[in-house]
Structure formats: C-alpha cells, structure tokens
C-alpha cells in the first residue's frame, strides 16, 4: 500500500509542477470544493474537528485566490468581493458547523469552477466563442 501512495504522490507532484497557471487555478477550485464537501460530511458524522480542518483548508484556498488577484483588471475587484463574501460565510459555517451555509458556498464555488472551465475552453479554441 505504501508504494501505491508514494506513486500517487509522485504523480500529483508531477501534475502540479507541469500544470499551466489556468490548470492550477482549476485544481484550486476543485480542491476548495473537495474540502468543503468533506466538511459537510464531517458535520453530518458529528466529527467537528475534521469539519473545522476542512473548512480551514477551503478558506486557505480562497485566501490564495485573493492574494493572487491582479487589480490592474477591473474584474479583480468583483472577484475580491466574492472571495471576501465566501470567507465570511466559511467562518460563519465553521463557528456554527452549519451544512446549509457550506452548501451555499459550494454552489458559488461550483459556478466559479464551471465558469473557469469555460474560460479555459474559450482560450484554447477562440473560434468556439464566436458561435454564441
């Protein structure tokens, strides 16, 4: 089992090291969604420490998104507002161990991830955007 884990970790490191910035952003969205889902499941199992740990992981990803915003672009302020809102909701969800708030955050994160996937597709194939 150790060899499988080591192999998987090597694969993940390689995937991260060779990813484009756009792919890394997508991985971060996927990670935030994964950790928020784990927090929901932990709350349902009454494992409050596990819930806390996963909400904190989600928060750290959102904080990373905020830290890397480029404010030369006007849209960055809008993203910052969304990230600030999500952080506030995650803090509240953590304090109350509230799955409803986490589900709300998950909805926003999924929408942002899906939008990012569309941006990546359009960037790879600009002619696809012209058909809309």
Q: What is the CATH number of the domain that holds 39?
A: 1.20.120.340
pLDDT category at 83 given cuts 50, 70, 90 is very high
- Residue 62 structure tokens: 């959102």
* Averaged pLDDT of the chain: 90
Residue 109 belongs to some domain of the structure: yes
Residue 32 belongs to some domain of the structure: yes
Residue 105 belongs to some domain of the structure: yes
Query: What's the predicted TM-score (pTM) here?
Result: 0.84
Contact of 105 with 82, CB cutoff 8 Å: no
Number of structural domains found in the chain = 1
Residue 10 belongs to some domain of the structure: no
pLDDT category at 129 given cuts 50, 70, 90 is low
Mean pLDDT of 35-47: 98
* pLDDT recorded at residue 14: 67
Between 123 and 36, name the one with better pLDDT: 36
What's the domain range around 94? 21-124
Residue 46 belongs to some domain of the structure: yes
| Cα angle, residue 37 at apex, residues 32 and 43 outer, rounded to 5° | 125
Residue 49 belongs to some domain of the structure: yes
Task: Output the CA–CA distances (angstroms, integers) from residue 19 to 28, 48, 89, 112, 122, in the order listed.
Answer: 12, 34, 30, 19, 18
pLDDT category at 28 given cuts 50, 70, 90 is very high
CA terminus-to-terminus distance, the chain: 49
**Maximum CA extent, the chain:** 50
């Amino acid at each position: 089992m150790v060899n499988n884990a080591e192999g998987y970790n090597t694969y993940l490191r390689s995937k991260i090291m060779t990813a484009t910035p756009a792919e890394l952003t997508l991985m971060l969205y996927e990670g935030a969604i994964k950790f928020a889902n784990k927090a929901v499941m932990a709350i349902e199992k009454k494992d409050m420490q596990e819930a806390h740990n996963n909400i904190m992981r989600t928060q750290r990803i959102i904080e990373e998104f905020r830290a890397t915003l480029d404010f030369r672009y006007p849209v960055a302020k809008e993203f910052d507002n969304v990230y600030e809102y999500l952080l506030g909701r995650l803090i509240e969800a953590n304090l109350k161990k509230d799955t409803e708030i986490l589900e709300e955050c998950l909805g926003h994160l999924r929408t942002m991830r899906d939008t990012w996937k569309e941006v990546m597709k359009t960037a790879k194939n600009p002619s696809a955007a012209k058909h809309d």
